[in-house]
Amino acid sequence: MLRPYLRTIRGVVAVLGLSASALMVTPRESFAEESTARNAAQMEAAARPAMQTEATIGSRAPAAAPARDDVSDNEYNFSWLDPDKKVYVLQNRKYRKARKFGIFLSGGVNLTNPFKTEFAGLPRAAFWFSEQIGIELFYARLSNSDNDTFSALKKVSASALPFVREHRDYYGAVLSWVPWYSKLNFFNRILYFDWSLNGGVGQVKTAVDQNNKAAGPVNYQEEAFTAFFFGTAQNFFLSRDWSVRLDLVGMAYRAKGADNATLRTFTNFDFTAGVGYLF
């Protein structure tokens, strides 16, 4: 009579054992599954930025090379810097002379007297109101001697000599305008220089030999005339203070000619070179 009850108890125990096994195994398996899912999510999150970067790099189109005409325009067209056309020169001026005094000492030779060799010593003083405008005062003293042409004429025609006028000295004041400031590559060294145009007024002293015979004694008659001076100069800067200057000094004045009666215009040109100092 107990067998049915034993079978029933044995079945209940078996059921309870299976339930306990399920309760013990399920948390471990569930924890493993959750850990696996968590690891997979972390790996996916870590890989996502790299995938986005690769996608961005892969999808970025290469920049198109500019057309050759566009490159040329960008390199040489600077009209956008000055839309109103107010800037005419862009220049890096290394040496400046505005509101400065300068003194120069030059020496040179006459270029136009057909019968005399004339050497000149010429000091000058200058003041520049700006980089383009200045004023200069100068004085020149000249020495004279017969040139080869005049010496030959004395030998060939001793009784008839040409009309000769020599220059003794001159002085004046000129307005100096400097429209050009430039650079020169001189044996791999950059030289900065001004190029000026000069014009003004002054006085010139001359002498005419009244003797027209080679064997006769000299008889110079000195004269003074108002002269108009004009010329050009190049001033090469060696440093902030020192410079080398080249000048072409021209003058024009009215005086009597060979007949000692008729007024005519005489022109004269001297070329000089010298050094200058700014302060």
Q: Is residue 95 part of a domain?
A: no
Same domain, 255 and 122: yes
Same domain, 132 and 24: no
In tens digits, the chain (279 residues) has pLDDT values of 555 555 555 654 454 454 444 444 444 444 445 555 565 556 565 555 544 444 444 444 455 555 545 444 555 566 666 666 665 554 567 889 999 999 999 999 999 999 999 999 999 999 999 999 999 999 999 999 999 998 888 888 777 788 899 999 999 999 999 999 888 888 888 889 999 999 999 999 999 988 877 777 888 999 999 999 999 999 999 999 999 999 999 999 999 988 888 999 999 999 999 999 999
Q: Which of 226, 230, 224 is nearest to 200 (CA)?
A: 230
Burial class (CB in 10 A: 0-12, 13-18, 19+), 221: exposed
Name residue, tokens 């003194």.
103
Three-state DSSP class for 184? Answer: strand
Name residue, tokens 């950059």.
190
- Return the pLDDT at 184: 84
- Return the pLDDT at 206: 97
Q: Cβ(195)–Cβ(179) under 8 Å? A: yes
Name residue, tokens 């700006």.
130
Q: What is the CATH number of the domain that holds 175?
A: 2.40.160.20
> CA separation (Å) from 156 to 145, 214, 217, 265?
19, 10, 18, 29
Name residue, tokens 């072409």.
248
Same domain, 136 and 254: yes
Q: Is residue 225 part of a domain?
A: yes
Q: Is residue 82 part of a domain?
A: no
Say what the alpha-carbon torsion angle 114, 117, 123, 128 is, to the nearest 10 degrees. 30
State which residues form the domain around 132.
Answer: 100-278
Q: Is residue 192 part of a domain?
A: yes
Same domain, 18 and 143: no
Same domain, 106 and 210: yes
Same domain, 260 and 159: yes
- Return the pLDDT at 219: 86
The domain tally of the chain equals 2
Same domain, 272 and 136: yes
Same domain, 12 and 119: no
